[in-house]
Amino acid sequence: MPEQILINDLGRHASMTETAVRAGVERVLRSGWYILGEDGAAFEREFAAYCGADHCVGVANGTDAIELALRALGIRPGSRVASVANAGAYTTTALLALGAEPVFVDVDRDSRLMDLAHLRQVITQGGVDAVVVTHLFGLLHDMQAVLEITGPSGVPVLEDCAQAHGARRDGRRAGGFGAAAAFSFYPTKNLGALGDGGAVVTGSAEVAERVRRLRQYGWETKYRATVRGGRNSRLDELQAAVLRAKLAFLDEWNERRRRIATRYSTEIKHPRVGCPAVHGEEFVAHLYVVTTDDRDGLRRHLADAGIRTDVHYPVPDHRQPCLTEFRERSRLPVTDELASAVLTLPCFPELSEDEVTRVISCVNAW
């Protein structure tokens, strides 16, 4: 059996940053302060500056970041929020927790991002209270075009940046365009912690303050709750220290991911495998996703060669067994088509050139 090429090798990733991460963790242990301390505050400042935003509020995970950001933007039970259905149901989970209604928008076949013509139609029909734009697989959407659609109606836009840390377009990074942005720091993300973590980034002091209260029981001051919908959702000091240590490497890692993706897109030549276009800084290659008319066959072929793959994502939100009420009201032909065709190849910064060559050769030999 050939040596396995994993879809994402966190063991290798950890070894690359062990010295810096260990120093951060030991600093927190020595401090004796583990929640809402100096490392958390420092990471919030540093990540806000990195994103080109005024404020960053650390929370417990990326799904909480979406929910609390939307709550801070005024989304409440009965609100209608436009989103896509091809991104793993994380936004839909947050919306249902809020008591809000997802309004699903189809996606573009090539970019896999929200179809702006369909979004325009949904906004024109009215009754939409917010839009969540997901920068899926690490590709930053054309946010100026999005805002041109939503701006005249005054509909706020939340950027879902869980897969797009550091992506840049028109000189601005992901998270610097919308009314707010939600980030996940799950360990597999381009900037990952050693457990769950998330953040809300925004240019609004009011939104940031509402999220700060919401992440800690709705408190204005200790034990005095002034905002409903609060919870315990805080980025702890250990994770903040880890993220501070890793942030310095993020641009380098993103560039390596792009180089791998570029090789895949230019060197995979199989007629039954569709590759993403080659992109610049707007793409940070969180996932490299191809399409094929025989996903199971290609997966078996690669598995026999010791190459792991995954599917992101096999079941669109409106097809989830627990969301049957959305099935009939959501016509999303491209989303449905892609769900049966997408396949994720290994793409992480520590992947060697020889391993990239091996993946390309195996796909071409299928």
Task: Specify whether the CB–CB gap between 135 and 163 falls below 8 A.
Answer: yes
**Which of 15-19, 42-46, 265-269 shows the lowest mean pLDDT across its residues?**
15-19
Q: What is the pLDDT of residue 51?
A: 98
Tell me, yes or no, whether 183 and 36 share the same domain: yes
Tell me, yes or no, whether 155 and 206 share the same domain: yes
Tell me, yes or no, whether 272 and 156 share the same domain: no
Q: What is the pLDDT of residue 317?
A: 95
Strand partners, 182: 160, 200
Domain's final residue, options 212, 247, 282: 247
Domain's final residue, options 227, 247, 267: 247
Domain's final residue, options 247, 263, 279: 247
Tell me, yes or no, whether 200 and 257 share the same domain: no
CATH of the domain at 345: 3.90.1150.10
Higher-scoring residue by pLDDT: 50, 324: 50
Tell me, yes or no, whether 100 and 226 share the same domain: yes
Q: What is the pLDDT of residue 277?
A: 97
| In-domain check, residue 321 | yes
Q: What is the pLDDT of residue 221?
A: 93
Q: How far apart are CA 5 and CA 213, in angstroms?
A: 44
| In-domain check, residue 348 | yes
Task: Give the predicted TM-score (pTM) of the model.
Answer: 0.97
Tell me, yes or no, whether 214 and 274 share the same domain: no
Containing domain of residue 20, as a range?
A: 10-104+112-247
Tens-digit pLDDT profile for residues 160-212: 999 999 999 999 999 999 999 999 999 999 999 999 999 999 999 999 999 99
Q: How far is CA 251 from CA 7, 17, 116, 165, in A?
A: 21, 14, 29, 9
Q: Is the pLDDT of residue 363 over 70?
A: yes
Tell me, yes or no, whether 219 and 294 share the same domain: no
Q: What is the pLDDT of residue 2?
A: 78
| Chain center to CA of 129 | 22
Q: Is the pLDDT of residue 1 over 70?
A: no
Domains held by the chain: number? 2
Helix 62-72 to helix 90-98 angle (10° resolution) is: 50
| In-domain check, residue 64 | yes
| In-domain check, residue 5 | no
Tell me, yes or no, whether 177 and 288 share the same domain: no
Q: What is the pLDDT of residue 326?
A: 81
Across the range 45-60, mean pLDDT stands at: 98
CATH of the domain at 164: 3.40.640.10
Tell me, yes or no, whether 301 and 236 share the same domain: no
Across the range 285-299, mean pLDDT stands at: 98
Which percentage of the chain shows pLDDT scores above 70? 100
Across the range 145-151, mean pLDDT stands at: 98
The three-state secondary structure class of 32 is: coil
Tens-digit pLDDT profile for residues 94-128: 999 999 999 999 999 999 999 999 999 999 999 99
| In-domain check, residue 90 | yes
| In-domain check, residue 1 | no
Across the range 219-242, mean pLDDT stands at: 96
Tell me, yes or no, whether 63 and 147 share the same domain: yes
Tell me, yes or no, whether 265 and 286 share the same domain: yes
Q: What is the pLDDT of residue 100?
A: 97
Task: Specify whether the CB–CB gap between 245 and 239 falls below 8 A.
Answer: no
- Helices of type H across 52-139: 62-72, 90-98, 116-125
Tell me, yes or no, whether 239 and 260 share the same domain: no
Tens-digit pLDDT profile for residues 296-347: 999 999 999 999 999 999 999 999 998 888 877 779 999 999 999 999 999 9
Tens-digit pLDDT profile for residues 205-229: 999 999 999 999 999 999 999 999 9
Q: Is the bond leading into 313 cis (omega within 30 degrees of zero)?
A: yes
| In-domain check, residue 3 | no
Across the range 77-106, mean pLDDT stands at: 97
Average pLDDT, the chain: 96
Across the range 59-80, mean pLDDT stands at: 98
| In-domain check, residue 24 | yes
Closest CA to 115 of 125, 123, 130, 105: 105
**Amino acid of residue 268:** I
